[in-house]
Amino acid sequence: MSILKDKNILLGITAGIAAYKSASLVRLFIKAGANVKVVMTPASKEFVTPLTLSTLSKNPVYSSFTDEEDDNQIWNNHVDLGLWADLFVIAPATANTMAKMANGSCDNILLATYLSAKCPIYFAPAMDLDMYKHDSTKASFQKLRSYGNKLIPAGTGELASGLIGEGRMAEPEDIVSYIENDILDQLPLKGKRVLITAGPTYEAIDPVRFIGNHSSGKMGFEIAKTAANLGAEVVLVTGPTHQKIIHNLVTVIPVITAEDMYNEVHKHFNTSDIAILSAAVADYRPKNVADQKIKKKETTFTIELEKTKDILKSLGEIKKDQFLVGFALETNNELEHAKGKLTSKNLDLIVLNSLQDKGAGFGVSTNKVTFITSSNDIIENELKSKADVAKDLMHLILKQTHA
């Protein structure tokens, strides 16, 4: 999954021959999972049609303040467009439009939207060689960057005039890559490695039956997604679950048993900066596993169990600079038990949730948690979606680690 997933991207198109590439750019943004709207200068419609762009973006295309063919004359609100966007990408950006942007001119809806936008703005210049090298164009570049706009460098190649040189708009794939890398470079967990466990473990009784629990893994998967969206490289060790995640910063390692999870976690812990163990690991497993399916013979049946390895405690014993987070699911004396785990397992933070709280626990999309820090701060939260709980958790970890 791209870092652009679910981003609202406003694509501005100006009147340059490179506008033919804008259709491909829309498709790449959509493929990355972004929501795309297009705003055009009136003259750019001579190079690429609004119909093409609206079909690809699945949204109306804006090129004027009103629809002149509509008797109702509904105003296309440039302020709303600017506020909707998480990113505004102007590609191609002609010398004419850049000069107007640099000097605050506002004679079309694209420029009005640019002046209203509160989001990061990227511009990809496209023009002939002599225009690109002209001092006035260089002055526009300098002024636009001084405003905080981000220039996507033009490429070198054959230009519309037949000249060969600088001024060719960056290829759509390069524009998407530039924006993704720029966003990642600014994220607070860029360069950090986060180890996360999720889901249940299954402990075999025989080849058919197992001891397990009702954990869906959703909480751990939401934490992994949130950490990756903050720029972290995530290793997600998960027990059996139907949850799915596709993200280019997340490596998923499926396991079955507590022993499997123990081994995988220990492989990756030393190279991790943060470890968040949200999996519901079995505390016990059958001491002897039958090779064949056990037949139903007796009225009662006894299984001898033995303790599994305590993964969280084992990490607390060997941790160096890692920030270690555990989860505690309790049914009684919740705070007391959670504080005890925090101390005995050498944790930096523990996330407590109680099966007494309606809407919390296994198999639901919500959770109600209490964060307890190693300095004994207790932070109670209302019932929230697990996605929001994941965001709250990562925000607190960032605060605690000053990342």
| Torsion 130-135-136-142 (CA) sign | positive
Which run of H or of E encompasses 62? strand 61-62
Tokens at 361, concatenated: 């626990």
Tokens at 204, concatenated: 């075999």
CA–CA dist 303, 210 (Å, integer): 11
CA–CA dist 256, 213 (Å, integer): 12
Residue 134's closest CA among 164, 97, 167? Answer: 167
Q: Is 35 an active-site residue?
A: no
Q: At what angle do helices 135-146 and 95-103 cross, to 10 degrees?
A: 50
Tokens at 73, concatenated: 């004359």
CA–CA dist 13, 175 (Å, integer): 14
Please give the full DSSP string across 123-192, using - where no structure is assigned.
EEE---HHHHHSHHHHHHHHHHHHTT-EE---EEEE-TTS-EEEEEPPPHHHHHHHHHHHHHHHSTTTT-
CA–CA dist 180, 160 (Å, integer): 29
Catalytic residue among 76, 213, 346, 381: 213
- 85 burial via Cβ count (<10 Å: 0-12, 13-18, 19+): buried
CA–CA dist 386, 379 (Å, integer): 16
Tokens at 165, concatenated: 């040189």
- Tracing tokens 């000097």 back to the chain, one arrives at 103
Residue 22's closest CA among 2, 7, 44? Answer: 44
Q: Which residues are designated catalytic?
A: 213
